[in-house]
Amino acid sequence: MNSNVSNVSSLLDYETGYKCGKKWDSFRSNYAQIHGWASLFVCIFGCIANSLNIAVLTRRDMRSPTNMILTGLAVADLLVMIEYVPYAIHLYLYRRPRRDTFTYGWAVFVLFHSNFGQVCHTISICLTVTLAIWRYIAVAHPQKNHEWCSHRRTIIAIVGAYLFCPILCIPLYITTEVRSYVEILDKNGMNVNLTNIQDINYGNYTINNTTNTTLYFVKLKETPMVNGMLNEMNFWIYSVVIKLIPCMALTILSIKLVIVLLEAKERRKKLTTTALKTNDERLAESSNDQAKIKKKKANRNMDKERQTDRTTMMLLAVLLLFLLTELPQGVLGLLSVILGSSFFHTCYVMLGDVIDILTLINSAINFILYCTMSRQFRTTFKQLFCSKWRNLGRWMPVPQHPMDNNGNTGVTNHTVTQVTQV
């Protein structure tokens, strides 16, 4: 994410002269004005959506290896968005002087945000790859699915992702630290334009109505170890291991899934044609009751296969959204290393906020995909939430109305019925 771009910049200690131009800087400045509110809205929606995902996917009738991985994915995405809310408010929405913005406490929080967000997002990437592998096995090798993708192995894979990813990210977050800088600020705590100041005491290095203020920023550690071996590790881990390799694996698995789906559809079409002919032949020899039973059984099998196809298509949509978000980051990170710091600062950094919002949208939109493409998810969601609202309305007390001289309440029976059936 954007808060982690400094982890890549440690590699870029050389220049190639490649620059993207001033239009990118202008685009970044214009988008930054709306990024705070946009990211806050997406995070709030994503927190609610992922909470609903967890509530639905953990129901007893929804428990399956695939849904267990989706639950782990929802937890990781939820953590990313919960933590991003104070970050967006701090840097984009809560406008205050520099001396109040870049305090030591807030610098420590930004350092935590950078590390925590990267770890959680890496967990999400790892679980997405696991999901693709599990689904490919379920479609391509259904006879081995229960053995290879059992509940026990699924739990081990999820727990392993949550334990392994923080270790994988160690080279990324041990290279940053909180460092102090002294800046000249005016009495309001804002930047001072030295070219507009005339009254300068050169002997004491003081400026009227200004103070030397210590500000704190998250920067890269400037040590020989960081500039040497860790630079190489950062390149391989951030650009290749975390970004490009998962994207390549997901691309291959997605293509194979589509091929398997097409083959299964063609095979099912041939089987359906053969079954229809066989049923027509048996219909003349058997009773109507037997024919109806066989027809119902065939229809159930067809419905089950169609549900499997819908689930696979839903997961393919999840994988494609992931690719659209992560592949550009991997390519930009790789180009930043190849083309040097000029490309990184004039291209990659300029797109940091856009990368952030795309990542947040990808983390929040899965709920919509589940509702749109999974009938079982919709049914469980309605049973879990809609039935509770109906029961709450059914047990709401009926308001009492004063009676007139004839003993009438002033409310017709039709109205009372409507109230009691809300």
Coil, helix or strand at residue 191: strand
What is the pLDDT averaged over residues 329-335? 81
Quote the DSSP letter at residue 345: I
Query: pLDDT at position 251, please?
Result: 85
Query: pLDDT at position 123, please?
Result: 94
Q: What percent of the chain has pLDDT over 70?
A: 69
Highest mean pLDDT among 38-52, 87-101, 205-219, 329-343: 38-52
Q: For residue 354, tell me if it sits in a domain.
A: yes
51 has pLDDT over 90: yes
What is the pLDDT averaged over residues 12-38? 77
Asked which of 268-282, 299-313, 401-415 is least confident by mean pLDDT, the reply is 401-415
Higher pLDDT, 187 or 129: 129
Higher pLDDT, 386 or 365: 365
Query: pLDDT at position 203, please?
Result: 43
Alpha helices in 141-235 (DSSP H): 145-148, 151-168, 170-173, 224-225, 231-234
Confidence grade of residue 105 (pLDDT, cut at 50, 70, 90): very high
What is the pLDDT averaged over residues 213-228? 72
Domain count, the chain: 1
Q: For residue 135, tell me if it sits in a domain.
A: yes
Q: What is the CATH number of the domain that holds 357?
A: 1.20.1070.10
Q: For residue 418, tell me if it sits in a domain.
A: no
Higher pLDDT, 166 or 286: 166
Question: What is the C-alpha separation between 235 and 233, in angstroms, rounded?
Answer: 5
Domain hosting 97: range is 28-102+110-166+241-276+307-383
CA angle 75, 76, 77 (to 5 degrees): 90
Q: For residue 182, tell me if it sits in a domain.
A: no
Longest dimension (CA), the chain: 113
What is the pLDDT averaged over residues 139-166? 91
290 has pLDDT over 70: no
What's the N-to-C CA distance of the chain in angstroms?
46
> Looking at this protein, which amino acid is placed at residue 191?
N
CA-based nearest residue to 361, from 349, 353, 372: 353
Q: For residue 194, tell me if it sits in a domain.
A: no
Query: pLDDT at position 7, please?
Result: 44
Contact of 343 with 19, CB cutoff 8 Å: yes
Contact of 15 with 235, CB cutoff 8 Å: no
Neighbouring residues of 229: CB distance < 8 A, sequence distance ≥ 6? none
Q: What is the DSSP string of 290-356?
A: HHHHHHHHHHHHHHHHHHHHHHHHHHHHHHHHHHHHHHHHHHHHHHHHHHBHHHIIIIIGGGHHHHH
Question: What is the C-alpha separation between 70 and 78, in angstroms, rounded?
Answer: 12
Confidence grade of residue 420 (pLDDT, cut at 50, 70, 90): very low
Q: For residue 141, tell me if it sits in a domain.
A: yes
> Looking at this protein, which amino acid is placed at residue 232?
E
Question: What is the C-alpha separation between 129 and 44, in angstroms, rounded?
Answer: 26
Query: pLDDT at position 55, please?
Result: 92
Mean pLDDT of the chain: 76
Question: What is the C-alpha separation between 411 and 408, in angstroms, rounded?
Answer: 8
Q: What is the pLDDT of residues 366-406, one digit of tens each?
A: 888 787 777 788 888 888 887 655 555 555 554 554 544 44
11 has pLDDT over 60: no
353 has pLDDT over 50: yes
Query: pLDDT at position 146, please?
Result: 87
